[in-house]
Amino acid sequence: MQLTILHVSQPVDGGVARVVADLVRGQRAQGHRVLVACPPGGRLGPQALAAGAELLEWPARRSPGPSVPAETARLRRLVRQAGPDLVHLHSAKAGLAGRLAVRGRRPTVFQPHAWSFAAATGGLAEVSARWERYATRWATSVLCVSEQERGDGEAAGVLADYTVVPNGVDLAHYAPAERRAARLSLGLDLSVPLAVCVGRLCRQKGQDLLLSAWPAVARRVPTAQLALVGGGPDAAALAAQARALPEPYRVRLTGDVTDPRPWLAAADLVVLPSRWEGMALAPLEAMAMGRPVLLADVPGAREQLPPQDREPGLIPPEDPAALTNALAAALADPLDCARRGAAARAWVAERHDIRTVIGRVSELYQKSISFGQPTPRVPARI
C-alpha cells in the first residue's frame, strides 16, 4: 500500500537530520509519497529534497517558548494541506507542536531521539516529564532507538505503545577506508595516535569534558592528537577552552564539515562522552567504517557496542578520570584499536543496516494505520 508520509523535524542538523533523510530515501524507494516539514536552514531540507521528499517550510525554534502557539497553528495548516496517512514527529520540539496540532486525528508516530526530560534539570525536567505523560495520548506509537530509552520512558510514567528500532547506517556509504589516504587528504601526521569526536558542539555531546581530560591524556601519550569535528552553539566556548590548553596539547577544531567520513577514516579511536542520548548515530557510522569507539554509558551506548567491546568502550557519564584512563589506554595501543574496529564493522553490518531499519519502520507505520481513527487514548499519569 502506497502511503503519504509526513515527517516533522526540529532540529535540522546532526544525527536527527540524518535519520530523517535516510528514512525519506528508503520510503521513496518503496514508492511512498514523502513530505518533510522543517525550519529553513541546516542540512535536513536540502538532504530531504535530494532524497525525493516534498519540502514544507515550518519555521520553529529549537527550544519551547512563546513561539509554540504560532508554530503549532502553522503545523496544523500544513497537515491539513498535505493530508498525510501518517505523521512521524522527530525529537522534542516537533513532538510538542506536532501532538498539539494533530491531537490523534491522524496516525502519529513520535520518536524522541532522547527524552526531553533527560536533557533538563530540576523543575524543568519534571515539567517535561509531565508533558510527555500527558501527550502520549496523542501518539499512536512511540518509537525508541534503544531499549534503555524505552525503559527510561516507562520509568518516568510515559504509558505508550512502544516500538524499539535501533538506529542504522548506510553500510555502502560508511564503508571501511584506508587510514593513510584519509590522513594525507586532511594534512595530518601519518603516525601519531588520533582521537576524533564527531558531533554537534553542544553540552549534550560533552566535548567540554573531553577537552578537560585531554592534557592528562597527552601527558601519558605525548604524541596523541585530538580533533573535534562539527559545529554548534558551543563552538566559540570550546574554541576558547582549546586555546587555553598548554601549547603541547593543542587540539584541532574543524568546524562544521559536509562529510565526516575522512575524519572517521583518519581516526585511531572515535570518542563521544555524551551526557545523554537515545542512540547516537556518529558511533555507528564510525564502527561501520571499521573504527573503535569510546562512549559514555548513556542510553543506547551499551546496546550499540559488540559485547566484547563494552568494557574498553564504555565509561561512566561525566567521569573525567575514567575518560582519561580509557582514552590513554586506547591511544597507546593502535594495533588493539585496529582489531576492535574490524569487530565493530562486523557487528554494525549484522545489526544496524539502514535497510533493516527502514523495513521495521514500515511495519510500524502499517500497524499504526491499522489502529484507525481517532488515536486510542492512553490514561495519562501526571
Domains annotated on the chain, with CATH: 4-168+354-370 (3.40.50.2000), 179-351 (3.40.50.2000)
The Cα 346–Cα 306 span in angstroms is 9
Amino acid at the residue 312: P
177 by DSSP, 3-state: which? coil
pTM for this model (two decimals): 0.91
What is the per-residue pLDDT for 216?
Answer: 95
pLDDT over 90, % of the chain: 92
Average pLDDT over residues 179-187: 96
89-129 tens-digit pLDDT: 999 999 999 999 999 999 999 999 999 999 888 889 999 99
pLDDT, mean over the chain: 94
What is the per-residue pLDDT for 141?
Answer: 97
55-64 tens-digit pLDDT: 999 999 988 8
Question: Residue 130's CB: how many other CB atoms inside 10 A?
Answer: 16
- Residues with Cβ within 8 Å of residue 189, at least 6 apart in sequence: 183, 225
What is the per-residue pLDDT for 246?
Answer: 84
Residue found under cell 537515545: 278
Q: Is pLDDT of 247 > 80? A: no
H or E element that contains 263: helix 261-266
Give the model's confidence band at 137: pLDDT under 50 very low, under 70 low, under 90 confident, else very high. Answer: very high
Average pLDDT over residues 229-257: 92
Give the model's confidence band at 165: pLDDT under 50 very low, under 70 low, under 90 confident, else very high. Answer: very high
Question: Residue 82's CB: how many other CB atoms inside 10 A?
Answer: 16
